[in-house]
Amino acid sequence: MSYASRKDDHVRLAVAQHRESITGQRPAPFDHVAFVHHAMRGTADHAVSLATEVGGTTWSVPLYINAMTGGSARTGAVNQGLAIAARETGVAIASGSMSAYLADSSVAATYRVLRAENPEGYVIANINANTTPEMAARAVELVRADALQVHVNAIQEIVMPEGDRDFSAWPGNIARLVETLDVPVIVKEVGFGISADTVTQLAGLGVRIVDVSGNGGTNFALIENARRPGADFGQLADWGLSTPACLVDGAEAALAQGVTLLASGGVRTPLDVVRGLALGARAVGVSGHFLSILETAGVDALIATIDTWIIQIRQLMTLLGAETVRALADTDVLLTGELAETCRLRGIDPAIYARRSR
């Protein structure tokens, strides 16, 4: 199986999965996070700042287009559309895994387009956790990246017929990457989440930014299962921690270790973004939902959607009386359903979240 056809499969299957999930039955994880309504706490919209700090840089909005693709003609076109949307809306953007480029430089243009279309933007390169520091530096250089994502995707690899079967070198290699590279390193999952224990482990390796990328959105267990002959490995479909569960689980460890949490996985609306920020994320990433809009309605529709999201994030912060992203962490939120159950089992008291403003 070539890189190119695998990357095309991922885009096709992720878009199909997203369209199915629009009519999905189960409550989505973010629906287990509700703001307590205080009727007279609102502020003025002009007093609200959407600015947020990630890795020593100020982003004008706490939203980014998360890692997806590159490596084939079709996915190069997807990257071009995503890069134009990032440029026109001012959001940060991450590349998909650059392994294809590191193995075959003839596909460089399918990634370079992220920088070519968006010369002034915040661009993040993306590699796997086995990539050497020298290779990682080449990935950063190709897109003149402002930061580097390292994805940890053991479940995807296990279900992938051609995937890795040895994850034992990841921690040591991540420590080497942090030590060697001169851009901030962000470690991210790909939709199965990062626990408090992993946040602590990563902090011990020198990592200062973690994108929890929990379950509830794009599901790579199902995508890779669909690519298996016989589709015989579907039992991992519900594996992992949801994005809100990761944020609640990891909050204390992140604070204690000085780790910035980013949130992605299953973000569908501006309200989900504000929920993620209220649970302590500094910024919130979206992949599947934005890809689906780009692929079905085109780049102008994606730009219009992101512009609307930015307006509505400000409006939600206005009604919550949160004039900064950090102030959202003092709002009162009700954690219900499966999320409350996860809190209970992990020894976290959801009542603390319901009375944070007192």
Who contacts 223 (Cβ-Cβ below 8 Å, separation ≥6)? Answer: 9, 10, 13, 14, 17, 156
Choices 27-35, 55-63, 184-192, 227-235; region in contact with ligand FNR by CB under 6 A = 184-192
Binding mask 23-62 for ligand FNR (x = CB under 6 A): ----------------------------------------
Q: Could you say whether residue 145 binds ligand FNR (CB under 6 A)?
A: no
User: Which one of the spans 20-28, 67-75, 308-316, 343-351 is the region binding ligand FNR (CB under 6 A)?
Assistant: 67-75
Among 237, 240, 215, which residue's Cα sits nearest to residue 226?
Answer: 237
Rounded-to-integer distance, Cα 47 and Cα 339, Å: 32
The single residue among 3, 10, 121, 193 that binds ligand FNR, judged by CB under 6 A, is 10
Q: Look at residues 80, 9, 30 and name the one whose alpha carbon lies nearest to residue 242.
A: 30
Give how far Cα 323 sits from Cα of 1, 10, 52, 147, Å.
50, 39, 12, 27
Q: Does residue 275 touch ligand FNR according to CB under 6 A?
A: no
Smallest gap from residue 265 Cβ to ligand FNR (A): 4
Token look-up 């992993």 returns 198
With CB under 6 A as the contact rule, the residue among 55, 288, 321, 350 that binds ligand FNR is 288
Least Cα distance to 163 among 217, 246, 236, 107 occurs for 236
Q: Give CA–CA dist 284/276, Å, rounded.
A: 7
Selected from 21, 52, 97, 225, the binder of ligand FNR by CB under 6 A is 97
143 scored as a contact of ligand FNR (CB under 6 A): no
Query: Applying CB under 6 A, which of residues 55, 76, 184, 191 lies at the interface with ligand FNR?
Result: 191
Give the binding-site size for ligand FNR (rule: CB under 6 A). Answer: 27
**273 lines the binding site for ligand FNR (CB under 6 A):** no
Which residues in 201-240 contact ligand FNR (CB under 6 A)?
213, 217-218
Q: How far is the CB of 185 from ligand FNR (least distance, A)?
A: 13
If one counts every other C-beta atom within 10 angstroms of the C-beta of residue 344, the result is: 12
3-class secondary-structure state, position 185: strand
Query: Within 227-284, where are the H helices?
Result: 243-257, 270-278
- Give the residues lining the site for ligand FNR (CB under 6 A): 10-11, 14, 66-69, 96-97, 126, 149, 151, 188, 190-191, 213, 217-218, 264-267, 286-289, 291
